[in-house]
Structure 1
């Protein structure tokens, strides 16, 4: 999106090559980007997880009758904190949970945060590496920051044009932690993290735009002329990711299937291209900002785009996902491996270093009999992967098992009986060591 210019300082991932003088004018070489080595080793991985938490997600039964089926408290998200000692989760009971990681690689519940409504997103925020703070956004709620023990730390309120509170669907912190970005319906709102309260900047992702072909930027105008044009991203902002190679630049995915690019300089849409789906659930940059990875809703593939030519598809990664869940994946800092789950209950890993237009997993492990919607990684002395399992069950589990065969076929009764207990729902948080 941006080119090197004499006035722009080189970022940390670039190195300036010396000029080559051969009796003629000096020739400046292109900056060399050194490749990194991944800390993850895909050999000799244990067949069983280091720990698996199930009881913390078992819901209370409505009745003490032993035949009553429990509520399906399936997990939605799981996130590693930057330190690797905490893991945050969200589940269908509208509660966020924080788990601590012991020296023996065991998980223990530290706090349960009930929010009362469906939780849309959760992200960790490290405050000068002194404490771990987690941000949550839920339906009819502002954005809250919580400490690891469940105490509320700060609140950020997104106020719409009617001066009413609006709930954010996605959240993301800037690379340096000084700003908080939140996605709404056709809108992005921004806060300074040290100043909670009302947002200081609002960016409309859909509206009247005037395209300046000389500057190649979409300029939003309040009073468009007669040749106005309506465009942009008209949908819920489902995910936001920061470009660590170019601070202040970030990509936005929406449920209309478009990928847009914004910057703190213009606070407007600068570039946009459509994806191959009607919805985007997760999006990530590579460490050097040259690649963008996009997960699509209810699609069996993850797409990789070349950011030197936005919209140019490099390759796609095939993994099965047939549910309507929000699928989240992660990439290691070396941009060597991509970790994802499948709707068949598998943890899969793709090798991004191979050259192919269509990539298939180089590692897969069966971890559950249901969907794996979210995967999170931690790169430390002991590389770890945490994942959550669970999915919505259709039809909804009935409250009592009827012995009469008049209510349904034998196969229907069997499927209900198989989901009578909590263990049959396969809702769990798992920790794997690599």
Structure 2
């Protein structure tokens, strides 16, 4: 395992919610209008939006395709959008204070979100995103206003209950006209121009029958489709992963036939870094390698998709042995087809693995840096499309977040939920 380098030049914090969350977190704990259950009463509003739960941590964050906007999902069942200031790199005003531009609350948890692939602030009609809320239709909303523009129904034909997707993706090759959803042993294709109760244009079960004792009678894969990713190559291969640790490949942007399935358990990597369910899939820029992140795992699996199911190696030292989803990201570097994997850990660090597909077996991080002083989990580490800026979220559930009467001193001095934007030290030692 290579020695982990410490930074010669530290990342620069360009923007942060530190001021905003310190105030709101303390207000939540100290409010005299709290209900008997400890929640804020329905008539308590900020900016016209009801706040019904304590805001304890960000669950994840995503960059918009144009790199101007951040989309977060939080523990209070609320989606927030943050538009970065045009003078983000102006040294005289660092760090900028991040405040939500739009706040979209929900009555139930959000399982998945997806940006429109041609999102642009210059075209407000394109500044939209999808979200799947438990026991509700899929929602298309504006990132600029807390309004729902359309809904799409995914209903179990036997029980008439809503099916909530655990993953969603827009196939860019389809021009943003369609999107895919992943749920229990099911992948569906929706026509974005047909909202309402019509449902998907195609249903693609990943097993022939859920009544089979074997996984589809030995064919396909069974389980909740918890992650999906489309190959950047023109082939349009969809990779779908499940909480049951299966991965399947499907052609024609996920609407075609199965190209094969494999299980990531019972491998040498599983003995080294462990894992208990796929939470994220990432393709290498060349489309040859598939990176598989799991919950309760100390690393990331690397598979060579030219030979379906062949384990190439694994990244170790991720420090993510938790049920909390820990989002990673991949970014291409300036040197040809090389790329990097960035990830956060439960110890408060973000880490970098360079050219991970070029090493067989285990590979440790080549660089790490502590994001926060409280050692809160870094739940998401996502890269700006340029690859020079990273956004991180920090926070987790704590016992002190249950305080009802009085303001918790630790919450006051070190706010739990944080969203930070960092300028990475590309010119420092160990960076290309």
Q: Is the CA contact (8 Å cut-off) linking 2:330 and 2:341 kept in structure 1?
A: yes
Aligned residue number for residue 227 of structure 2: 239
Aligned residue number for residue 342 of structure 1: 345
Q: Residues of 1 paired with 2:408 and 2:65: CA distance?
A: 42
State the 1:275 CA deviation.
Answer: 0.9
Secondary structure of the 2:115 match is: strand
Q: Residues of 2 paired with 1:138 and 1:423: CA distance?
A: 33
From the superposition, tell whether residues 394 and 352 of structure 1 become closer, same or farther in structure 2 (CA, over 3 Å).
Answer: farther
Q: Residues of 2 paired with 1:72 and 1:151: CA distance?
A: 21
State the 1:356 CA deviation.
Answer: 4.6
Q: Residues of 2 paired with 1:61 and 1:136: CA distance?
A: 29
From the superposition, tell whether residues 135 and 60 of structure 1 become closer, same or farther in structure 2 (CA, over 3 Å).
Answer: same
**Within the alignment, does 1:275 sit opposite 2:270 as a pair?**
no
**Within the alignment, does 1:53 sit opposite 2:17 as a pair?**
yes
Q: Is the CA contact (8 Å cut-off) linking 1:77 and 1:122 kept in structure 2?
A: no
Aligned residue number for residue 359 of structure 2: 355
Pairwise mapping of residues 227-306 of structure 1 onto structure 2 (< 5 A)? 229-264=217-252, 267-276=256-265, 277-306=275-304
From the superposition, tell whether residues 266 and 371 of structure 1 become closer, same or farther in structure 2 (CA, over 3 Å).
Answer: closer
Pairwise mapping of residues 83-122 of structure 1 onto structure 2 (< 5 A)? 83-105=66-88, 106=96, 107-122=98-113
Q: Residues of 2 paired with 1:261 and 1:248: CA distance?
A: 10
State the 1:268 CA deviation.
Answer: 4.2
Question: RCO greater where, 1 or 2, for CA within 8 Å and sep 6 or more?
Answer: 2
Aligned residue number for residue 397 of structure 1: 402
**Within the alignment, does 1:384 sit opposite 2:384 as a pair?**
no
State the 1:396 CA deviation.
Answer: 6.4
| Structure 1 unaligned blocks of 5 or more | 1-41, 210-221, 402-415
User: Deviations 1:217-241 (Å, cap 9, x if unpaired)?
Assistant: xxxxx9x9xxx92543222111100
Q: Residues of 2 paired with 1:81 and 1:47: CA distance?
A: 22
Aligned-residue CA RMSD (Å): 3.0
Higher helix share: 2
How many residues are treated as equivalent by the alignment?
Answer: 360
Q: Residues of 2 paired with 1:113 and 1:385: CA distance?
A: 24
| Worse-matched range after superposition: 244-253 or 234-243 | 244-253
**Within the alignment, does 1:175 sit opposite 2:167 as a pair?**
no
Q: Residues of 1 paired with 2:403 and 2:32: CA distance?
A: 15
Q: Residues of 2 paired with 1:340 and 1:428: CA distance?
A: 16
| Structure 2 unaligned blocks of 5 or more | 1-5, 40-52, 89-95, 266-274, 425-432
Q: Residues of 2 paired with 1:311 and 1:141: CA distance?
A: 35
Secondary structure of the 1:159 match is: coil
TM-score norm. by structure 1 comes to: 0.75
User: Deviations 1:341-372 (Å, cap 9, x if unpaired)?
Assistant: 11111111110255352111122110122101
State the 1:138 CA deviation.
Answer: 1.4
Aligned residue number for residue 370 of structure 2: 366
Q: Residues of 2 paired with 1:301 and 1:127: CA distance?
A: 32
Secondary structure of the 1:161 match is: coil
Q: Is the CA contact (8 Å cut-off) linking 1:298 and 1:323 kept in structure 2?
A: yes
User: Deviations 1:55-86 (Å, cap 9, x if unpaired)?
Assistant: 256372374399x9993521101000011110
Secondary structure of the 2:297 match is: coil
| Worse-matched range after superposition: 238-247 or 159-168 | 159-168
Bigger CA radius of gyration: 1
